[in-house]
């Protein structure tokens, strides 16, 4: 849904724009100019086609990408495209790409190839590619050479220019490529279409300064840039006024928020300001880097009435030697100390993590250290990954890459341990009453509703669609491993 709180204001601004004059220089007014101009072009194409035009946005990767896609969708709707669930039927298809793992690129190439026939059959069809994958020079060169039917290619730093790039493409009748190596710009206050009316992601910062040796994110997302706290608060207040009760604060490393602001503000201080917003019920955030998790933040989490009882704290490895090679900035001992502090401050917190198996030079002893952390922390769940070489990262050229058979064996053993512990940890709430934010109808049983506990665990229970967006009390009857079956308490 379009953010209604901004829509009327946005339309008022569009009414003041004179397309006979040059485009404004200042953002975001410049983009309003191109949105209005693009509307004219899309209207003309729709009239020629004798039907409405439809768009489809496919998102690969993280929640930062998902939030970017909401902006892309909002702009497409504002310029005249209706949303279409099937990309084969859409007139504008855009892939918002991820490049954290190299095999993700191959998936995108396959999807692009499938669109070639549709492009030939539909004279009004446009294809766009954006996101992290487009920040790689070799990818763009391959697209220019082998996928000449693509219309629009841009990266992570200039997504806000989407409408302007569409106009450039419609006026040039040729492939448009606009890739920025880096930027210090943050442009917000543009149309956005939220997936849910009751919850929303909110970007608090962009980029990453950590340079973990296996990760390409700093190269494709750029250096850390924090948004001004006043802008963040204003956005959340507008969302709450529009019906949002839960927000997810987004950043590659939210714990380092505020370091580059003219007047520095810590992430803990930002959270305290956000908590003051009336009508906001729940605050989530990700991702937290262990090296920047401060005692101040732990204290704020312990005292908060709104911060959800869930912390995603990627460990990646339990071996201090491997962590040093990964350039993670902490040791196994430091990580375990953090977990103790967090559990002391928030005894009922749910901890989840990311773990990489088979990092270069990893030995069986190193792997056992990882298993030791899993057994000591007892995560509610863990995202487990087999190490994947990522071209352009230091780890890709490291010697002593671990044999595939060894990695797969360790991965299976880790997964078994994680699932065993998770089943034990997640069942502790059986027969308790929990507050659930109802998110929608169950995907597999239309008689059930699906909601989420403060600790991020899913609950399925009999109910109806009138409950969507409400926080209600549900009694948890049976744990099914990663979710609960519950019953609605009648008042």
Query: 43-85 pLDDT, tens per residue?
Result: 999 999 999 999 999 999 888 889 999 999 999 999 999 987 7
Mean pLDDT on 423-430:
91
pLDDT given at position 391: 80
pLDDT given at position 12: 83
Q: What percent of the chain has pLDDT over 90?
A: 80
pLDDT given at position 189: 85
Is the predicted pLDDT of residue 6 greater than 80, yes or no? no
pLDDT given at position 297: 97
Q: What is the pLDDT of residues 104-122, one digit of tens each?
A: 788 899 999 999 999 999 9
Is the predicted pLDDT of residue 2 greater than 60, yes or no? no
The pLDDT-based confidence of 491 (bands split at 50, 70, 90) is: low
Mean pLDDT on 240-261:
95
Mean pLDDT on 231-235:
96
Q: What is the pLDDT of residues 335-371, one digit of tens each?
A: 999 999 999 999 999 999 999 999 999 999 999 999 9
The overall pTM is greater than 0.85: yes
Average pLDDT, the chain: 93
Mean pLDDT on 393-413:
93
Q: What is the pLDDT of residues 150-207, one digit of tens each?
A: 999 999 999 999 999 999 999 998 899 999 988 888 888 888 888 899 999 999 999 9
Is the predicted pLDDT of residue 275 greater than 60, yes or no? yes
Is the predicted pLDDT of residue 284 greater than 70, yes or no? yes
Q: Three-class SS string for the chain?
A: CECHHHHHHHHHHHHCCCCCCCCCCCCCHHHHHHHHHHHHHHHHHHHHHCCCCEEEEEECCCHHHHHHHHHHHHHHHHCCCEECCCHHHCCEEEEEECCCCHHHHHHHHHHHHHCHHHHHHCCCCEEEEEEHHHHCHHHHHHHHHHCCCCCEEECCCCHHHHHHHHHHHHHHCCCEEECCCCCCCCCCCCCCECCCCCEEEEECEECCCCCCCCCCHHHHHCCCEECCHHHHHHHHHHHHHCCCCEEEEECCCHHHCCCCCCCCCCHHHHHHHHHCCCCCCEEEEECCCHHHCCHHHHHHHHHCCCECCEEECCCECCCHHHHHHHCCCCCHHHHHHHHHHHHHHCCCCEEEEEEEECCCCCCHHHHHHHHHHHHHHCCCEEEEEECCCCCCCHHHHCCCCCCHHHHHHHHHHHHHHHHHHHHHHHHHHCCCEEEEEEEEECCCCCCEEEEECCCCCEEEEECCHHHCCCEEEEEEEEECCCEEEEEECCC
């Amino acid at each position: 849904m379009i953010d209604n709180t901004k829509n009327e204001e946005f339309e008022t601004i569009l009414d003041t724009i004179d397309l006979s004059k040059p485009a404004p220089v200042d953002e975001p007014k410049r983009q309003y100019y191109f949105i209005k101009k693009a509307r004219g072009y899309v209207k003309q194409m729709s009239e020629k086609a004798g039907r409405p035009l439809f768009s489809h946005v496919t998102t690969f990767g993280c929640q930062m990408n998902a939030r970017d896609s909401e902006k892309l969708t909002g702009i497409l709707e504002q310029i005249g495209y209706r949303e279409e669930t099937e990309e084969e039927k859409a007139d504008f298809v855009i892939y918002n790409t991820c490049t954290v793992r190299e095999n993700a690129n191959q998936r995108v190439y396959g999807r692009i190839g499938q669109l070639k026939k549709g492009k030939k059959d539909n004279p009004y069809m446009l294809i766009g590619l954006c996101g992290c994958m487009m920040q790689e020079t070799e990818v763009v060169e391959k697209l220019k050479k082998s996928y000449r039917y693509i219309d629009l290619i841009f990266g992570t730093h200039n997504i806000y220019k989407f409408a302007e790039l569409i106009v450039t493409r419609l006026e040039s009748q040729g492939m448009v490529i606009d890739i920025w190596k880096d930027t210090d710009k943050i442009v917000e206050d543009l149309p956005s279409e939220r997936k849910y009316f009751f919850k929303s992601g909110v970007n608090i910062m962009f980029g990453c300064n950590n340079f973990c040796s296996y990760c390409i994110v700093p190269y494709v997302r750029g250096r850390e840039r924090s948004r001004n706290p006043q802008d963040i608060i204003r956005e959340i207040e507008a969302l709450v006024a529009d019906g949002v009760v839960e927000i997810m604060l987004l950043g590659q490393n939210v714990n380092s928020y505020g370091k580059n602001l003219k007047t520095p503000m810590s992430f803990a201080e930002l959270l305290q300001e956000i908590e003051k917003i009336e009508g906001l019920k729940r605050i989530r955030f990700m991702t937290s880097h262990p090296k920047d998790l401060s005692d101040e933040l732990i204290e704020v989490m312990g005292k908060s009435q709104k911060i959800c009882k869930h912390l995603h704290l990627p460990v990646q490895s339990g071996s201090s030697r491997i962590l040093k090679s990964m350039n993670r900035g902490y040791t196994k001992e430091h990580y375990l100390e953090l977990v103790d502090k967090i559990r002391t401050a928030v005894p009922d917190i749910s901890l989840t993590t990311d773990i990489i198996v088979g990092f270069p030079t990893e030995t069986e002893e190193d792997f056992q250290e990882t298993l030791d952390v899993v057994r000591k922390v007892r995560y509610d769940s863990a995202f487990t990954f087999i190490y994947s070489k990522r071209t352009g990262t230091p780890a890709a050229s490291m010697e002593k890459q671990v044999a595939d058979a060894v990695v797969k064996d360790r991965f299976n053993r880790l997964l078994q341990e994680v699932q065993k512990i998770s089943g034990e940890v997640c069942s502790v709430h059986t027969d308790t009453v929990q507050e659930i934010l109802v998110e929608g109808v169950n995907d597999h049983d239309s008689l059930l509703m699906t909601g989420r506990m403060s600790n991020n665990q899913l609950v399925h229970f009999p109910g109806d669609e009138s409950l969507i967006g409400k926080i209600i009390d549900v009694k948890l009857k049976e744990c099914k491993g990663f979710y609960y079956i519950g019953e609605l308490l009648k008042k």
